[in-house]
Structure 1
């Protein structure tokens, strides 16, 4: 069951269908990645919707290497997009772990190399400072503020 939920989630992401992605989440879901921490259902579904909206159709998603059972599944997914703040092209490789409850995603943890991402997304600033907690914290604050603003506008 977890494999089919994971496949439904990423297939919906490929189709840029945030509402179908949201259907895969348990109401009590918790999401974490290197930028967003402890997002609840409203926040994580809003985050995906915001990212899809901002991509303006220039988002390509691929997923592979799925392993798991009814409780836990992992996969690798890749995103190619234009970072909206700089216009820079990004090819991010993300390792995703999902825990399931009642066939839905209850815990979603994505991990990626922040420095690698920051070099592509932020250019010289990311290359020089992408390793530093200072830049990571700045990006986190900006991302959360952006998500809060997006959610308030909905």
Structure 2
């Protein structure tokens, strides 16, 4: 299981979305503060979209502290990038939890401080609103609209 998670993040470092998504079960459920809950091919397309949007840009991922506990794998990863909507630098630290079925990832949950992320990505407006449920709902609506647009093109 740890090897699979290392493969997933090694591929992410290379922005190789197909190698990443090969680690996912076809019935995978992905959840994070930015997208909410995304399932199956849509969950795979989250990574395809993110990788495509970062190609040729100054994007860095590092991962560490991969541990198994009660048939789950936990990892910490960090991403450094420029948020395209505002041009602001973002450093996001994420705690990930993985569950498995048939040797593949069936459930992937990423947790991070959305308020901290919003402050970095949007500045004062993010600091002011980033901790609210209104902001979270609006962000999820926007990111899922971007995912729908990406899926229609590909």
Tell whether 2:132 aligns with 1:151.
Answer: no
Deviations 1:102-148 (A, max 9, x none): 21000000000000000011111101111111111111111111111
Q: Is the 8 A contact 2:119 2:125 kept in 1?
A: yes
Q: How much does 1:17 deviate? A: 0.2
Q: How much does 1:74 deviate? A: 0.2
1:8 aligned residue: 7
Q: Is the 8 A contact 2:28 2:39 kept in 1?
A: yes
* Cα distance in 2 for residues equivalent to 1:112 and 1:128: 18
Moved more, 35-44 or 104-113: 35-44
Q: Is the 8 A contact 2:23 2:104 kept in 1?
A: yes
| More strand as a share of residues | 2
1:46 aligned residue: 45
* Cα distance in 2 for residues equivalent to 1:98 and 1:50: 21
Equivalenced residue count is 153
TM-score normalised by length of structure 1? 0.95
* Alpha-carbon RMSD: 1.2
| Dislocated runs of 4+, deviation >4 Å | none
Q: How much does 1:69 deviate? A: 5.8
Unmatched 5+ stretches in structure 2: none
Matched residue of 1:85: which SS?
A: coil
Moved more, 104-113 or 69-78: 69-78
Q: How much does 1:71 deviate? A: 2.9
1:73 aligned residue: 73
